[in-house]
Amino acid sequence: MATAPDHGPLPGMLLALTVVSGLVDAFSYLTMGHVFVANMTGNVVFFGFALAGVGDISVRSTLVAIAAFVAGAAIGGRVAREARPHRGLLVAAACSIQAAVFVLSAITVTRAGVRPDGVTLLLVGLLAVAMGGQNAVVGRLGVPDLTTTVLTRTMTGLFAEASPTAVRLRRLASIVALMLGAWAGGMLLHTSVPASPLWLAALLLLATAASALARTRRPDSASWR
């Protein structure tokens, strides 16, 4: 039997990114109408509703989210394939770029709000590009059961497969992390300023980037390269 690859500290980092996904989707869904910037499965369903003229869903916002996500995934996937850095360095770079996008988005929300159509579409595009890049990088990392955004397969595997305890715990942790991020985002929107989920997401990303960079410099980092 082949030995399972060593992923080092990557699972913990991806759980942090899963929390980020919950935060930004809470922000986008609750402040910018029925649109996700991380969960594209939901957006495809919403687009179908929008075409049917039900649910008060914006066709433009949904299309912008999907197109921007695809663009971010394409860019992130190409960079990850061609650069082929240590996986820790890839996480650090991707999280740093995402954090910069989230800070820019948070500043935009603070100064302009989210209601004008142009501002809403700009924010949807910026955040969806960042989340598309995150998904591409996560795919390159190759850590099973930690997609950071899509949980349908994870939930199916948790309850339908006779998996080892470690695998079941990893799947459960992924589900809890996304729910925790969504809960935190909702609570922040309820008790604080609209940009607060984005600020928290940016802080988590910067902390993850710093952790990835520090762990990459350790002697044992070659085992999870």
User: Which of these, 69, 70, 48, lies nearest to 59 by C-alpha position?
Assistant: 48
Contact 23, 201 (CB under 8 A): yes
- Residues 126-131 have a mean pLDDT of 97
Q: pLDDT, tens digit, for every residue of 64-109?
A: 999 999 999 999 999 888 888 899 999 999 999 999 999 999 999 9
Instruction: Say if residue 1's pLDDT is above 70.
Output: no
Domain boundaries of the chain, sorted by first residue: 10-216
Q: pLDDT, tens digit, for every residue of 168-223?
A: 999 999 999 999 999 999 999 999 999 999 999 999 999 999 999 999 999 989 99
Q: Tell me the C-alpha to C-alpha distance, in Å, between residue 72 and each of 21, 78, 167.
A: 15, 10, 29
CATH for the stretch 10-216: 1.20.1250
What is the predicted pLDDT for the residue at 96? 97
What is the predicted pLDDT for the residue at 159? 86
Could you tell me the two tokens for 124? 């949807």
Q: pLDDT, tens digit, for every residue of 134-181?
A: 999 999 999 988 999 888 888 888 888 888 888 899 999 999 999 999
